[in-house]
Structure 1
Amino acid sequence: MSYSLDADSVLPLWGSRCESAEITLFCLPHAGGGASAYRRLAAQWRPAIDLQPVQLPGREDLGHLSPAEDAATLVAALGTALLPRLRRPYGLFGHSLGAALAAELVAWLAARADSTPQPELLVISARTGDFRAGEVSARDHDGARLDDDALVGGLTRLGGTAAELLEHPELRAYVLRALRDDMRMAGTYRPSFHGLPLPVLAFGGTEDDSVPIDKLRMWRQWAERGFRLCLLPGGHFYLYEQGAPMAEVILAELAGKADKVIGDKGSLVVRPASGTSVPGAR
């Protein structure tokens, strides 16, 4: 399956972009998620960061398109569509499954470095950096085969999905269909890259049992130009409550002042809630 996408269709917030921002971050959404899930975060980060959520085929106003069956096809279509909008300084940001897609987009762009402006930063959120066979695929394959009630239970535990979406029969069916499509794609995913030629900044939630600290730390093996890991209070969707400190860390990283903002603990920087400690932090 191939797609013919354009920049206007995949960037629904481009018309309200903040041209004075210090950086534009193109945001790849989580499994089952659409661009609208990041609208509030985009508003919160302006004017310093222009967050541009990317709409995927089969989502929201692109709901008439079939969802992608594999990451390579999806990334090629998105990359081609985004090319006219890529002006430095820009970076890529992905949450959960979107983090893997963002990393693949970095690799896709790197293969075209002679003719394409390159991103300055990759921001990873709540996604394991361990892509060994069986580490991710089994979970996603098994999840895609769960019945509706079990899948809803998993979504409820993770948070991030409005309760009214899961209570309305038609909306619930839409959410679960999109989630299953993405989980099937994730279940067959293997990285195409052997390294990522830019700094990688990884975020995670201190209470996110689905992505433990050691799995987040494994993004370091792919980062060829520096790696930093920052934990913030919360679960898998911590970013909805921790947008302000996330933006502070991102801007400090771009300015080369991250150590002054969040402290230096080697390759691991931790910013837990006051009075808490994070297991595994050294």
Structure 2
Amino acid sequence: MTNSLHPPAQQAELHRTWVRRFRPVSDPRLRLVCFPHAGGAASFYRTWPQWLAPDVEVGAVCYPGREERIAEPCIDRMAELADRIAAALVPWLDRPLVFFGHSMGASVAHEVALRLEARFGQVVQRLIVSARAAPSHLRPTGVSGWSDEELLAHLRALGGSFSAALDHPDLRDLMLPIIRSDYRLVDGYEPYAPPLLSAPVTGYLGAEDPHVTEEDMRAWAATTRAGHTLTVLPGDHFYLMPQAARVVTEIDGLLSRH
């Protein structure tokens, strides 16, 4: 990742492309940046501002290939995706940042946090990771090479919004290439160095998650110099959907300490 910055107008456009603001705040105390899961989109976080203090601004990362960026090719390499998101977040470095990532989004958030810290010093005040094994516990799955039928069965087992959407042929045909691209990113992921963050790491996990264990989540403690906690809640890989109000309210309490 280079240290060169884009000209201001180009930087502002880059930021607008990559970050969706659901409740703009004119003078935020801090900003919460949310990273979607594989196959997910920024709108997954659209309801979150209602549970956060009014001086907290929420931004959700818009990956290429979905929603308003549907015409753009997906990015299937973690290094490229994290580099480009880090560059797009430069205009938000005037306020403290907290990152939240669900599933694949937790790894993306971690990679972006490492890049910002390496480039600017400690920037992210806290990393919140959800339903994703720590880098040391990630296991190759090869999911990106599975047949459509195998991939669909895997996605249905995860639960959440995928299950209903994949029953509609048009949505299924739209989503599968995006999901497969994201799984190529996951399958080819090699963690960035340096390995340790200066920010604390907070973890959340659904107790019935079919693919991520408590041990996987507790291993995030080895990624930071500043401490780690884990909360296990009822639910599967997408426990977050029915319990969004509870989780975001807890996050709001964490944000009040910054």
Shift in CA distance, 113/19, structure 1 to aligned 2, threshold 3 Å: same
- Give CA-to-partner distance per residue, 1:144-186, whole Å, 9 cap, x none: 1222222222222212225552122221012111111011111
Does the Cα contact within 8 Å between 2:98 and 2:126 map onto a contact in 1? yes
Displacement of 1:247 in angstroms is: 2.5
Q: Determine the C-alpha separation between the residues in 1 that align with 2:184 and 2:149.
A: 18
Where does 1:253-264 land on structure 2 (aligned, <5 Å)? 253-255=254-256
Specify the alignment match of 2:172 in structure 1.
172
Provide TM-score, normalisation by structure 2: 0.86
Specify the alignment match of 2:71 in structure 1.
64
Shift in CA distance, 20/156, structure 1 to aligned 2, threshold 3 Å: farther
Specify the alignment match of 1:278 in structure 2.
none
Name the count of aligned residue pairs.
246
Displacement of 1:12 in angstroms is: 2.5
- Give CA-to-partner distance per residue, 1:240-262, whole Å, 9 cap, x none: 122232223323334459xxxxx
Structure 1 unpaired stretches of 5+: 258-282
SS state of the match for residue 121, structure 1? Answer: strand
- Give CA-to-partner distance per residue, 1:225-282, whole Å, 9 cap, x none: 111111122111111122232223323334459xxxxxxxxxxxxxxxxxxxxxxxxx
The counterpart of 1:12, out of the listed 14, 20, 26, is: 20
SS state of the match for residue 221, structure 1? Answer: helix
Q: Determine the C-alpha separation between the residues in 2 that align with 1:175 and 1:234.
A: 24
Displacement of 1:28 in angstroms is: 1.0
Q: Determine if the alignment matches structure 1 residue 183 to structure 2 residue 183.
A: yes
Provide TM-score, normalisation by structure 1: 0.79
Displacement of 1:43 in angstroms is: 4.0
Specify the alignment match of 1:120 in structure 2.
125
Does the Cα contact within 8 Å between 1:42 and 1:52 map onto a contact in 2? no
Displacement of 1:32 in angstroms is: 0.9
Higher relative contact order (CA 8 A, sep 6+): 2
Q: Determine if the alignment matches structure 1 residue 136 to structure 2 residue 143.
A: no
Q: Determine the C-alpha separation between the residues in 2 that align with 1:41 and 1:162.
A: 20
Structure 2 unpaired stretches of 5+: 1-9
Shift in CA distance, 36/46, structure 1 to aligned 2, threshold 3 Å: farther
Q: Determine if the alignment matches structure 1 residue 101 to structure 2 residue 108.
A: yes
RMSD of the TM alignment (CA)? 2.3
Does the Cα contact within 8 Å between 2:96 and 2:124 map onto a contact in 1? yes
Shift in CA distance, 159/45, structure 1 to aligned 2, threshold 3 Å: farther
Specify the alignment match of 1:243 in structure 2.
244
